Structure 1
Amino acid sequence: MTEPRVSVVITAYNAAEYLSAAIESVLAQSHPADDVVVVDDGSTDASAAVAQSYAHRGVRLIRQDNQGPGAARNRGIRETSGELVAFLDGDDLWLPNKLERQLAYLVAHPETVMVSCLRWRWDQTTGERHIEYFGVPPGRILAHENVVRNVIGNPSMTLIRRSVFDAVGMFDTQLRWGQDWDLFIRIASYGPVGFVEEPLMIYRWHPGGISHHRGIERLDMFQSIACRGIARIQPAWRRPLLLARRLSWDQCDRAAYASQVGLSRARRVWHAALGLALFPFERPVSKTKRLLRSIFGDDSYAAVGRRLRSVVYRPIGEREGLERF
């Protein structure tokens, strides 16, 4: 049986510092892509020149005025022809077997319309790396879980059948943030989504990434996307519970953001308390910790945690004074 052709769409906006490594990670795949395009979304740095330097290795450069990542990905979809489409943000990386593992999954599961994976998160400021997990526990319905929060990941993690775009549409260019989550909600409602349960890409976090700007507006947009997705869930009786869970997640995210940017204690506590009260049955320990952090502050909370750990893990004979702590 002839394997389906794979097209790769790399999108870049002022990503010259990272783009070469991203392109190299695509060209180093154990299963080569059949078509690779870089869509430069109006960069003002050397991103286009970096992409053009790979023309002799079959990489095509497409330039357009700045229209946002959704429009850039849509342009890449239209400019390619493979039956399968993979995306890579210009500041992310693929591990060498990403396409091979995901292509094998889709061939083995012809009913699946999209496959995702786990990912490494690499903080470019601290060097810290850890694996981030996606998907849903057994027994949960992915289409329902995915309207509460994005459990599929980002476009760099996916391989999608081109026919899906004809059925559900492409990225919504009217959305400043969350275009990928909005599309994934539509795809999960359309057909089965699979996962390769291993990290196949590296998400390179850095302060210049678009996903880290204008936090309150971004959270508002995410909430709007979630509510729109919940409104389409069938049967309708599931919607109130999903909405309560989503509102809880949203308030916890707002509490974390308020702490991150140094907003007032009252605001931090308000969001954290709402997050716990709206749905205390999911992640109760995590939500309680967030509330305590909001009340006492991250530094005081961390200091108490260190003190407790030092007492708890002290040998039995050295624990005098525990009652006084």
Structure 2
Amino acid sequence: MADVPAVSVVIPLYNKGPYIARALNSVLAQTFQDFEVIVVDDGSTDDGAAVVRGFDDPRIRLIQQENQGVSAARNRGIEAARAELVAFLDADDEWLAGHLEVLLRLRDKYPEAGAYGTAYLVKRKDSKACVAAFSDDIPRKPWEGLLPSYFKAAAFGDPPISASTVAIPKSVLTEMAGFATEAWWGEDTDLWGRIALKYPIAFSWDGMGIYHTEASNRACNRTEPVEENIFVRTAKEALEAGEIPDAMQADLREYVAKKQIETAWFNIRAKRADLARTVLKKCVTRELIRKKYWALFWAYVPSSAYELASTTRQISMDILYRAQEDYTNIRKPRKI
């Protein structure tokens, strides 16, 4: 059909009124313009939906539903998508102008891939955006191609793809049954992991997005206990069933260990040190031993001591970021 766009952009929206215009403007500013945008408002109580309606562009569609969670919102957008390639963007993040162009280029070069991702910048409070701390297992820029090992890259650095810098063929999304709706945390990396168990993952340093950690109402900032990361269960079942190639097993096990350590930290922050200790006792790792035992140490420290240390560290990090920003500004050449 002539009116079918080359790519569908799915944006889940829940109480992100202050940021959704920035996200939409970054899509409309793309160098590649053959797209549709599907914003799924998941029962917001702020003015986010009204902001979306204020955009006078027929390529933008707004779908509203009762609050069911981010996975249900993304899955609703996938169902409504008309293109075979579906790109994702969170409502409080944004893209640089060439992002979609790079994703389409990756799709054309590597049709066998199950997902296409770009590098991204991380924006923290009161600091400029910096490139994420990717693993050295990803070849250095300007490389792009199929990742040598998705799980190794994800185990030893920031995730090589994120919910705001990835595009996935709709056929693959259908095969994977979309995002898991039973988890409030890790539902995105669970899908990337399930895809990586079956398909190669394509990556490029070009066409970055910006991940805004300073935005409010982010799911990762919730302090609720988590018994087990959803992908850990998936990976263990696949390993026990003998479905994982020998060459992938070591990297997958280290990635599972990383997810268990992250789960322990979630529980420590949620004042459930007992859950943190339980998770860490199941954690088997060769490469992440220090991180495992550092988390285990704090799992035996009183919550009040952890909160004091965490607050002190955050203040120190804020001072460091501001100092780096000031130093960068001082070094900038002045216009005459």
Moved more, 145-154 or 53-62: 145-154
Contact 1:92 / 1:156 at 8 angstroms: preserved in 2? yes
Q: 2:219 aligned with 1:210, yes or no? A: yes
Tell me the TM-score normalised to structure 2 length: 0.71
The change in CA–CA distance for 1:63 and 1:129 in structure 2 (over 3 A counts) is same
Which residue matches 1:42?
A: 43
Q: 2:97 aligned with 1:96, yes or no? A: yes
The change in CA–CA distance for 1:58 and 1:214 in structure 2 (over 3 A counts) is same
Structure showing the higher helix proportion among its residues: 1
The change in CA–CA distance for 1:29 and 1:197 in structure 2 (over 3 A counts) is same
The change in CA–CA distance for 1:252 and 1:191 in structure 2 (over 3 A counts) is closer
Q: What do residues 278-321 of structure 1 show as CA deviations (whole Å, max 9, x unaligned)?
A: 42x3145656766788889758x98xxxxxxxxxxxxxxxxxxx
CA shift, 1:22, in A, is: 0.4
Which residue matches 1:108?
A: 109
Q: 1:176 aligns with which of 176, 179, 184?
A: 184
**Aligned residue runs from structure 1 range 108-127, under 5 A:** 108-124=109-125, 126-127=126-127
Aligned to 2:18, what secondary structure does the other structure show?
helix
Which consecutive unaligned segments of at least 5 residues does structure 2 have? 140-145, 314-336
Which residue matches 1:190?
A: 198
- The CA distance in 2 between the partners of 1:190 and 1:245, in whole Å, is 18
Root-mean-square deviation (Å): 4.0
Q: 2:12 aligned with 1:11, yes or no? A: yes
**Aligned residue runs from structure 1 range 255-270, under 5 A:** 256-257=265-266
Aligned amino acid, residue 84 of structure 2? E
Q: What do residues 139-194 of structure 1 show as CA deviations (whole Å, max 9, x unaligned)?
A: 98636548969844322111112221233322222333222222222222332210
Which residue matches 1:245?
A: 254
Aligned to 1:216, what secondary structure does the other structure show?
coil
Q: What do residues 178-234 of structure 1 show as CA deviations (whole Å, max 9, x unaligned)?
A: 222222222223322100124611111135211221342275445435434544563
Provide the identity percentage: 29
Q: What do residues 238-262 of structure 1 show as CA deviations (whole Å, max 9, x unaligned)?
A: 7985676356424533554466567
Aligned amino acid, residue 12 of structure 1? L
Contact 2:117 / 2:203 at 8 angstroms: preserved in 1? yes
Q: What do residues 53-96 of structure 1 show as CA deviations (whole Å, max 9, x unaligned)?
A: 11445311111111111111111112121121101111111111
Which residue matches 2:149?
A: 142
Contact 1:144 / 1:233 at 8 angstroms: preserved in 2? no
The change in CA–CA distance for 1:27 and 1:213 in structure 2 (over 3 A counts) is same
Which residue matches 2:132?
A: 132
CA shift, 1:12, in A, is: 0.4
Contact 2:235 / 2:256 at 8 angstroms: preserved in 1? no
- The CA distance in 2 between the partners of 1:243 and 1:191, in whole Å, is 14
Aligned amino acid, residue 168 of structure 2? I
The change in CA–CA distance for 1:267 and 1:43 in structure 2 (over 3 A counts) is closer
Aligned amino acid, residue 21 of structure 1? R
Contact 2:12 / 2:90 at 8 angstroms: preserved in 1? yes
Q: What do residues 124-149 of structure 1 show as CA deviations (whole Å, max 9, x unaligned)?
A: 4x435332145755798636548969
Aligned amino acid, residue 282 of structure 1? E
- The CA distance in 1 between the partners of 2:189 and 2:163, in whole Å, is 9
The change in CA–CA distance for 1:132 and 1:53 in structure 2 (over 3 A counts) is same
Contact 1:113 / 1:164 at 8 angstroms: preserved in 2? yes
- The CA distance in 2 between the partners of 1:109 and 1:247, in whole Å, is 27
Aligned amino acid, residue 183 of structure 2? L
The change in CA–CA distance for 1:72 and 1:292 in structure 2 (over 3 A counts) is closer
Which consecutive unaligned segments of at least 5 residues does structure 1 have? 303-325
CA shift, 1:45, in A, is: 0.6
Aligned amino acid, residue 69 of structure 1? V
- The CA distance in 2 between the partners of 1:128 and 1:263, in whole Å, is 34
Moved more, 12-21 or 54-63: 54-63
- The CA distance in 2 between the partners of 1:96 and 1:140, in whole Å, is 24
- The CA distance in 2 between the partners of 1:76 and 1:231, in whole Å, is 34
- The CA distance in 2 between the partners of 1:53 and 1:30, in whole Å, is 22
Q: 2:95 aligned with 1:87, yes or no? A: no
Which residue matches 2:142?
A: none
